[in-house]
Amino acid sequence: MASKDVQNQRRGLPRFLPGAPDPDQSLPASSSNSATQAWQPSLPLPNSFLPTVSLPPGLEYLSQLDLIIIHQQVELLGMILGTETSNKYEIKNNLGQRIYFAVEESICFNRTFCSTLRSCTLRITDNSGREVITVNRPLRCNSCWCPCYLQELEIQAPPGTIVGYVAQKWDPFLPKFTIQNANKEDILKIVGPCATCGCFGDVDFEVKTINEKLTIGKISKYWSGFVNNVFTNADNFGIHVPADLDVTVKAAMIGACFLFDFMFFEHSLAGL
């Protein structure tokens, strides 16, 4: 009876930070072939894949992912006219199947005159069109010489329920951010490189514990080649996280990825 209780305890809530893998949980690996669809159908997950607590509706697919791929769609009209259009992103799992789609909502005036600092709302929907995550970005400063009123995102999942924030922290040398819970308590830190230009390689933002002694993941901006980076604004990102990380924190990291795109890679020449 005691061994059964130990097994049930092991199969309980997913830990917030990564720990030792559970030897009793062996999930069958998913197989893919050429007939696999390019999008993940929005069907309920099997009970064996669900944690013992209810998740925010629509975030079930994040519960077992250790890699989230974000691909910005190319806006041909903006390329031709040289204007800044609303950003659109495909969010995929590690098999390349689309699980979410994100669309920026902002006014033309902000995109033209506020550029990368513009206020906007990103609405993330699943494949059935249901909005599952809302990311609100207010107009804020972005300068190492101005330690006040720095960048911040508000994460809602589902829309109307705040689950976290992404807040920029002042540092004269490195881009630093914190992921906060709904009470604005720091949970994790994100530390970027001194130079975010990329220079023909990936740019990694490390996800660390609060004391910055342990790295638990990273957000990478993938270098997609000289031609793509110079002549298009399309960026590709990968979020590497522990599979047992809380889904609301994974949602906040998706928001952080959007923020990094606005701040560091919005213009093609900055994405080299």
Name residue, tokens 């009123």: 149
* DSSP annotation string for 109-162: HIIIIIGGG--EEEEEE-TTS-EEEEEEE------TT--SS--EEEEESSTT-E
Give dist(CA 128, CA 119) in Å, integer: 27
Bridge partner residues of 133 (DSSP): 124
142 Ramachandran zone, left/alpha/beta (phi>0; psi -120 to 50):
beta
Q: Cβ atoms within 10 A of the Cβ of 257, count?
A: 23
CATH of domain 60-265: 3.20.90
What does each of the 272 residues of the chain score in pLDDT, given as a tens digit?
Answer: 444 454 444 444 344 444 444 444 444 444 444 344 455 554 454 443 344 457 899 999 999 899 999 998 876 665 566 666 788 999 999 999 999 999 999 888 777 777 777 889 999 999 999 999 999 999 877 665 667 778 899 999 999 999 999 999 988 888 999 999 999 999 999 999 987 775 567 899 999 999 999 999 999 998 765 444 444 445 789 999 999 999 999 999 999 999 999 888 876 443 44
Give dist(CA 104, CA 8) in Å, integer: 43
CA Rg value for the chain: 19
Domain ranges (residues) in the chain: 60-265
